[in-house]
A and B are shown apart, each in its own frame.
Chain A
């Protein structure tokens, strides 16, 4: 694939197929959500269009709704093919907010549609699973927090009862037993509930129940100024602060028509690659620790600490929060700091050469990781896996290369892709990504563009919208932003990669033993906060 070229040369075929199916594309725009194409549909064609997209091997990415006025909800679905993105859009009357579901064709749409069902009151008529998803007991079934008539801070809210009555999948039979886990887990980890059905040690079924850290991010984003939205986006998932802030800023900048200086983009990429390395180091250590190999955990947590101290020294924040701001980055990088980062790069590279060769040469580790939590390529494709989960199962997907946003459009992104689909492969993909990120950092730091690191902000017109598309360390992030009056945010929807990867954990655990759940879970490492919002 050629970086940076969005060809859409398959789009005419897609539109022709739509015509064959008597689907009326009521309008399209290449500019409104550039670089994505926007296609307006009638509500009744919503489901059939997804079927056409599926026939053309398009990948389903995201769904979000917004309330346009007192009478209308607008539903958006983002799909992708070959690094090109397109957004389907339909207006649904608020009085009868019913539309067909994408889930029968694309299972990945299941939870995002139920999220929209709970928060907007949309009814996806042929959805195979009408259970609530994000709603527990904090608001009533007939209340919809993201509608305009629902206050962000309602008066007189009493104590919220614990969630109960959620109809979990049941399994019965001789020797079948159930293990409920969470929301409060044993480790230092985010809260969520896992319901296992097991026979002996073998997992028959796993069902996730998330939503415990739902903080109303989409609602409290409304009315914010761009800087405040960037701060909030940087806390959608604290481990992905750079990539989420970048995606939100990219969306706002596209909406406002602000051109970010190339030096600022290079610094953003430095931040994003450093974030990728820090998280992958943590994950490699944690995966090894979950099979009792504490040596690697200690070495990786040491290297991660060195890295975070570098972040503190050079960028003033250990996790790099609030360094990406609308229009650019918070501050320039001095040549001395760039030199320091290059030295740090070289040190990490030589440490890793030694550490990873020990890892490769450890049969007892292989024994635990090879063949554990296997995700076949077909399942990964059907469920729409992204990030290292996809790359470890033979799906070569990386926005930095396929979608070629700046500054990656001028770099060679050499993304790893393995076939085994097991925990070992997911670990190897992370290791390969660290090495590659070190290479990218060297390019970015040795030859940075010169110039300013901040563009002046232009207040966009009411109704202006933009789409942010960034490859975070977990994978593809898609963020939609719409502006309202006075340059304030009217709608913010960040689609963390975890939305797509969490359901896949339920599949890859089948047939594994319960004690291997922690290492399988760690190898996927979904964000709870990023999906609960």
Chain B
């Protein structure tokens, strides 16, 4: 146990400050006002992989690593759509996930946002529309914000989330 504490002490806190980006910082302040006012300080997100290659999921996971530590911005990922303020949807929507995505959307209490995450979710990406794929998320449920990228890097995910809250 002492070795664990020692390791933690020596590594120190690597969590970065919000990206030094004037536009983003201004956005961040605005967002904080929105979150404090409308969500009592926290935004709950339910991630739905509707057909992704798993690349986007890796980068969403990275948001929880100690570098980004996204919870400090008031953002946390929840296990049920019933707990969620927003759905973060990845992938082109496979036809086999079409009904599941609609049901997840229906299970999310209003008011709710849908954020399409990654090129596939934005416009179908590499997979497009086919016998097996509905393409973009907006072809299946209404989308409020898009975050392009293949996959979007954690920093871009963060920007997209902040933009969603400010929008």
1/0 contact trace for A288-329 toward B, CB 8 Å? 000000010011011011001000100000110100000000
Query: For chain B, what secondary structure do more than half of its interface residues adopt (helix, strand, loop), or is it mixed?
Result: mixed
B54's contact among A159, A187, A355, A528, by CB below 8 Å, is which? A528
1/0 contact trace for B79-103 toward A, CB 8 Å? 1110000000001101111111001
Binds A, one of B21-29, B31-39, B125-133: B125-133
Residues in B neighbouring A191, C-beta threshold 8 A: 48-50, 97, 100
Q: Is A13 among interface residues, defined by CB-CB distance under 8 A? A: no
Q: Is the CB of A162 within 8 A of B100?
A: yes
How long is the Cα–Cα vector from A187 to B48 in the complex, in angstroms? 9
Q: Is the CB of B126 within 8 A of A138?
A: no
Chain A 149-184 interface residues, beta-carbon cutoff 8 Å to B: 150-154, 157, 159-163, 183-184
Q: Is the CB of B150 within 8 A of A190?
A: no
Given the contacts A213-B51, A238-B52, A151 and B131 also touching, CB distance less than 8 Å: yes
Chain B 50-66 interface residues, beta-carbon cutoff 8 Å to A: 50-62, 64-66
Given the contacts A216-B130, A321-B150, A238 and B67 also touching, CB distance less than 8 Å: no
How long is the Cα–Cα vector from A211 to B95 in the complex, in angstroms? 10
Q: Is the CB of A157 within 8 A of B131?
A: yes
Given the contacts A186-B79, A237-B54, A308-B62, A219 and B96 also touching, CB distance less than 8 Å: no
Q: Is the CB of B4 within 8 A of A358?
A: yes
Q: Is the CB of B130 within 8 A of A529?
A: no
Chain B 110-154 interface residues, beta-carbon cutoff 8 Å to A: 125-134, 150-151, 153
Chain A 406-448 interface residues, beta-carbon cutoff 8 Å to B: none
Q: Is the CB of A236 within 8 A of B131?
A: no
How long is the Cα–Cα vector from A157 to B151 in the complex, in angstroms? 28
How long is the Cα–Cα vector from A191 to B3 in the complex, in angstroms? 38
A-B contact count (CB 8 A): 166
Closest chain B CB from A218 CB (angstroms): 10
Q: Is A527 among interface residues, defined by CB-CB distance under 8 A? A: yes
Closest chain A CB from B123 CB (angstroms): 14
Q: Is the CB of B58 within 8 A of A215?
A: no
23 A-B interface contacts by CB (under 8 A): A137-B96, A139-B131, A152-B131, A162-B99, A163-B99, A184-B100, A184-B104, A188-B77, A189-B57, A190-B57, A191-B49, A215-B51, A215-B133, A216-B130, A235-B125, A238-B52, A301-B62, A302-B66, A319-B58, A321-B150, A354-B7, A355-B7, A358-B4
Q: Give 8 nearest A-B pairs by CB, closest first.
A: A238-B55, A216-B132, A162-B99, A138-B95, A238-B53, A186-B79, A301-B65, A160-B95
Contact residues of A with B, CB < 8 Å?
Answer: 136-139, 145, 150-154, 157, 159-163, 183-184, 186-191, 211-217, 219-220, 231-232, 235-239, 241, 282, 295, 298-299, 301-302, 304-305, 308, 312, 318-319, 321, 354-355, 358, 361, 527-529, 532
